Amino acid sequence: MKILIVDDHPLIREGLGQLLRGTYAQHELVLLHASTGAQAVDTLLPHRDIDLVLLDFKLPDMTGLEVLREFARVRPQLAVLVISGWANPQLMQQTLDAGARGFVLKSGNTDKLLQAVDRVLRGQTYVPPELQAFQSNGRSPDNTNRPALSPRQETVLSGLLDGQSNREIAEALNVSDETVKTHVSAILRYFNADNRTQAVLSAVDAGFSKTKKL
């Protein structure tokens, strides 16, 4: 069995590798690693027998959706399990629509991760409980045709959800106030909001939650 782990943090890649080696010790397990989306795509070419890809949604060069589109051009039926820090049902749905077989949260426990890995390896789809709960409440993601927020826009939105001002977000990210204003404007357009308050309310209603620090 061959699994590709894609994450820009070496410690996370190693931690996932140790977990997989301990879980699938009875298999002849081969682990491959990539730190960027481009490296992941390049790895598929000489390793067309990869059984599973664990893909971090936020990479330095691409979003998970962009990587999934690149994967589809190389191996359309590739089994991919996306891992993200955002508990956002719309992002989850976009990811599944783009070809991922499952979506798990970094804030979840290892049992959930291994359950998702096992299900995807068996050719099934893992729908995260957060998306199931969102849908069971009579709601469904309504912006799945929109491009996803960029990783930086997601980080700025995290600051907005935490009630931070543009200046506070700029200082936390070590960028200018104007740069933050540009991202905030993009977020307002994404949620069709007239101001920050409307954008935050729309984000919460859409299932976004603050799960990471700036």
Q: Residue 195: which CATH number? A: 1.10.10.10
How much is the pLDDT for 192?
83
Chain centroid to Cα 4, Å, comes to 16
Residue 212 pLDDT: 47
Average pLDDT over every residue of 37-43: 95
Q: Residues 192-199: what's their mean pLDDT?
A: 87
Choose one of 136, 163, 194: the last residue of a domain: 136
Q: Which of 110, 103, 157, 98 is nearest to 134 (CA)?
A: 103
Tokens of 31: 């682990």
pLDDT computed for residue 213 by the predictor: 47
Asked which of 80, 108, 136 is the last residue of a domain, the reply is 136
pLDDT for residue 153: 87
pLDDT of residue 146: 59
Q: How many residues does the chain have?
A: 214
The per-residue pLDDT for 121 is 95
Tell me the Cα Rg of the chain: 18
CA distances from 46 to 42, 68, 75, 88 (A): 8, 18, 12, 34
Residue span of the structural domain in which 69 resides? 2-136
Within a domain: 213: no
Q: Do 134 and 175 form a contact (C-beta atoms < 8 A)? A: no
How many domains does the chain contain in total?
Answer: 2
Q: Tens digits of per-residue pLDDT, 73-99?
A: 999 899 999 998 776 777 788 889 889
* Cα 123–Cα 125–Cα 127 angle in degrees, nearest 5: 160
Query: 203 with 157: CB under 8 angstroms?
Result: yes
Tens-place pLDDT, residues 114-132: 999 999 999 999 988 877 7
Of 85 and 13, the one with more pLDDT: 13
Residue 86 sits in the same domain as residue 159: no
Task: Output b/e per residue, 36-72; b: 16+ Cβ within 10 A.
Answer: bbebbbebbeeeeebebbbbbbbbeebbbbbbbebbe
pLDDT digits (tens, 9 = 90+) for 150-187: 878 888 988 898 889 999 999 989 999 999 999 999 99
With H, G, I as helix, E, B as strand and everything else as coil, classify residue 168: helix
DSSP symbol at 195: S
